[in-house]
Structure 1
Amino acid sequence: MNEITITIPTPDGFSLSGVLYEYHGQPKAVVQFNIGTGMRKEFYGNLARYLAENGFIVCLWEYRGMGKSKPNDKDEFSCITMQDWAIDMRTVLDFLEARYPDWPKLMIGHSIGGQLLGLLPNHTILKGMVMITCSTGTWWHHTFPYRLKSYYFFNILTSLTVPFLGYLPAKKLNIMEDLPGALILEWREWCNSENYLFDFLGKSIPHNTYNEISLPIKAYWTTDDPIANAVSVPALLRHFLKADIMTEAIRPTDYGVKRIGHFGLFSRKFKERFWSKIVIDLETMLSTNHHYNNPSLKKVNL
C-alpha cells in the first residue's frame, strides 16, 4: 500500500489536506472518506488503511478549517461555513475523478460527512455511499441527557464565545477541533430547527440535490448513540427520496462491548466484525445488478 500526502486546491482558494492510500495492484474502486465535524483525519486512519489493504484507493481528507486544512489567517478561518464544507466535498470528488478516471467512485461519510451529500451537484459520479452514524442534528432529537449538552453547546457556549473570539474554542474544552464562528452559527441555526438543514433548502441553502440522488446508500447507526438515533437517522434518510437505502442498527451487546456511541465504530476492535462489513457493502455497490430491495438481501429496519 502506498501512502501519499496530497493537497487539493478549492475553487475559492483554500488548500485541503489529504492522504491517498493506494492499493498495490488493480483497485476495485476509489473511496472518498468524509470525516465528522470537528475531527481530524488521523482519527480515521486505521479504517482507511484497512480499506486500502482490501483493494481500494482511499482518499482521507480534512475540510477547510480542520487539522492541516486550517488557514493561518484568523479572519479567513472565522468566515468558513458548513456550506463551504459541501464545496470541499464536491472539490475532492472532482479531484478523484480527474486523478483516477478509470475507476468507479464510492463515498464513506461519518456524521456531517453523510449529511451534506445532497449538496453535491456532482453526486452522479458516485456508485454508492456508506453512512456511519449520520443523522440530522436537531438538538431535542438527541437522547436524554445528551440533549442538555447539545443545548448548552449550541445556545450557551456558542453565545459566550463566538461574538468575542470569532470562533468556538472547542479544542481547549476537549470537545473537538475549534470551529469557525460562521460555521458554528450556521450549524446552530440548523440544530435549532425541527427539520435541521432541510428547513433552509431554497432559502439560505439555495441549491440542493437530495430529491435527485438515486445511489445505493448503506446507513449504520448504533443503538447507544445519543446523536444518530432511532429518531434522527430516519429524519435524515427520508429526504433521499430516490435513493436505494438499507439501514442497520449496531448493538453493543452483539459485538461484546459495553458502548460504541457516535465514534466507536472507528476503533480497531471492530476491524474483523464491522469494518469487514463495509468492504462487502462497497463491493456490493459496484455490482451493476445491485439493489438493496432485492428479496435475497435482508433490509434491516430502524
Structure 2
Amino acid sequence: MSQAPEVVSFGSSQAPLVGKWHPAHGPQRAAMVVHGATGVPQRFYRHFAHWAAQQGIATLTYDYRDFGESLTGATRSSSARMADWAVADQDAAQHKLAELAPTGPLWVLGHSLGGLGIAFHRYPERVSRVITMGAGMTHYRDHPWHYLPKALAFWFLIGPAATGALGYLPGRRLGFGEDLPSGVYWQWRRWCTRRDFFARDIGKSLPQPNFNATEPPLELCVARDDDMVPPAAVRRYAAHFAPDRTQLRLFDPANYGLGTLGHVGCLGAGCEAAWQDLMFPDAAEARTGAA
C-alpha cells in the first residue's frame, strides 16, 4: 500500500514554500529534492516522486515562491525573479531535505531551471549526487527550425506583449505552461536572448558562481529530442564546470520504446524506463551515450 505524501512548509515569511515529502518505501537508499522547471508545478512530478519512493529514494517536491501551491496572492503582485527561484528557493528546499532526512546520502535533481542554480550553491558533504535533466544555457537560436517560430513568439511577440499588458505571463491562456510572475518571465527572457546567458546578472540578482568546485559529482542529462533545451545548450552549460566533475548523458526515446521524451515529458508519467536509467546509471551504460 503506497504512503500518501506529507505536505511540508518551509522558506521565509516573505517567501513561503509548500512541498510534498514522499517517504521511501522500505529501506531508504537516499533522500532527494526535485527542483522543478520553469512553469512546471510540483504536481507534475508526483508520478516520478512516487516511483522514486518505491525505489527507496525519499523525495521532496515543492513549488517556487509565488507559483503553484506556494502562491499566496495574485501572480501579478509578485516581485519574484528567476534568480530567486534558482538560488534562494532551491537553497531553502535543500535545507528542508536535510531536515527531513537527517542521516544518509542526499541527492539533488534539477529539471531545466532546477539545474541552473548548481554553481550558486555550497553543498554539504552529505550531497553525494547532483543530477540535471534538460538544464542548459539556451539561446533562442539553438532551437531546431520546427520549434523556432514558437520560441520567437514567446520571447519577441506574444510573451512580452501579454506580460506587459497584464503584469504577469498568462501561461495557461497562451499554452506556455502555468502563469508566471512578470519578473520571472523578463529575467528568463533576458537569459535566453543573450549569448552570455545569466552573466550580466552575476553580482546583481545572482551571487558569484563557483564553477571550479570538484564535488559533488555532476550528471548533466538531456533527451536527444529536447527541442526547448537542445543537447548543444547542455554541452555549453557543462563546459563551465570542472571536467573531472561532470558527466554528460544523452537519452534517446527509442531506447525505451517511446516516441518522445522531450523537455518536460521526460519526467512525466509513462517514462519509467528512462527514470531507471536516470537514477541508476550503473545499469544503464548500454543504453545511454555521450551528449
Same fold (TM over 0.5): yes
- Do the aligned residues in 1 keep the contact of 2:40 with 2:178 (CA within 8 Å)? yes
Match of 2:66?
A: 65
Q: How do 1:31-180 and structure 2 match up within 5 A?
A: 31-74=32-75, 76-77=77-78, 79-85=79-85, 86-122=87-123, 125-180=126-181
The runs of at least 4 aligned residues of structure 1 exceeding 3 Å deviation read 73-76, 121-125, 296-300
Q: Distance in 2 between matches of 1:230 and 1:133?
A: 8
Residue aligned with 1:218, SS: strand
Match of 2:278 in 1: 278
Q: Are the aligned partners of 1:210 and 1:239 in contact in 2 as well (CA < 8 Å)? A: yes
257 and 28 in structure 1: CA distance in 2 versus 1, 3 angstrom threshold: closer
- Residue aligned with 1:185, SS: helix
Per-residue deviation at 1:74? 4.5
Q: Which moved more, 1:156-165 or 1:232-241?
A: 156-165
Q: Residue 251 of structure 2 contacts residue 288 of structure 2 at CA under 8 Å; is this kept in 1?
A: no
Output aligned runs, 1:197-236, within 5 Å: 197-212=198-213, 214-236=215-237
Q: CA deviation at 1:193?
A: 0.9
The CA distance in 1 between the partners of 2:172 and 2:58, in whole Å, is 31
Following superposition, the deviation at residue 213 of structure 1 comes to 5.1
* Post-superposition CA distance 1:269-302 (Å, at most 9, x none): 321x212123314xx7xxxxxxxxxxx9999322
After superposing the two structures, state which structure 1 stretch, 82-91 or 139-148, moved more: 139-148
- Secondary structure at the counterpart of residue 157 of structure 2: helix
Alpha-carbon deviation of 1:19? Answer: 0.8
User: 1:208 aligns to what SS in structure 2?
Assistant: coil
Partner of 1:287: none
Amino acid at match of 2:18: S
Instruction: Work out the CA distance in 1 between the residues paired with 2:73 and 2:244.
Output: 40
TM-score (norm 1): 0.86
Provide closer, same or farther for how the CA distance between residues 209 and 6 of structure 1 changes in structure 2, counting only shifts above 3 A.
farther
Structure 2 residue runs without a partner (length 5+): none
SS in 1 for 2:258: coil
56-65 vs 151-160, greater mean Cα deviation:
151-160
User: CA distance change for structure 1 residues 68 and 156 in 2, over 3 Å: closer, same or farther?
Assistant: same
Deviation for aligned residue 1:75: 5.3
Matched, 1:301 2:273: no
Distance of aligned partners of 1:261 and 1:73 in 2 relative to their CA distance in 1, 3 Å threshold: closer
Contact kept in structure 1, 2:249 and 2:290, CA below 8 Å:
yes
Q: Which stretch shifts more, 92-101 or 198-207?
A: 198-207
Matched position secondary structure for 2:17: strand
* Separation in structure 1 between the aligned mates of residue 118 and residue 213 of structure 2, nearest angstrom: 11
Matched residues, percent identical? 22
Q: What whole-Å deviation, never above 9, does each CA across 1:180-201 have from its counterpart, x for those lacking one? A: 0111111111111113123533
Equivalent pair of 1:135/1:234 in contact (CA under 8 Å) = yes
* Structure 2 residue 3 is the aligned partner of structure 1 residue 2: yes
Contact 2:34 2:62 in 1 (8 A): yes
CA RMSD of aligned residues (A): 2.4
Q: What secondary structure does 2:98 align onto?
A: helix
Assess, with a 3 A threshold, how the Cα gap between structure 1 residues 256 and 24 changes in structure 2: closer, same or farther: closer
Separation in 1, partners of 2:226, 2:267: 14
Per-residue deviation, 1:76 = 4.1
Q: How many equivalent residue pairs?
A: 287
Q: Secondary structure at the match of 1:6?
A: strand
How is 1:25-36 mapped onto 2 (pairs within 5 angstroms)? 25-36=26-37
Matched residues in 2 for 1:63 and 1:169: separation?
Answer: 17
Gaps of 5+ in 1: 285-295
**Structure 1: how far apart are the matches of 2:122 and 2:13?**
17
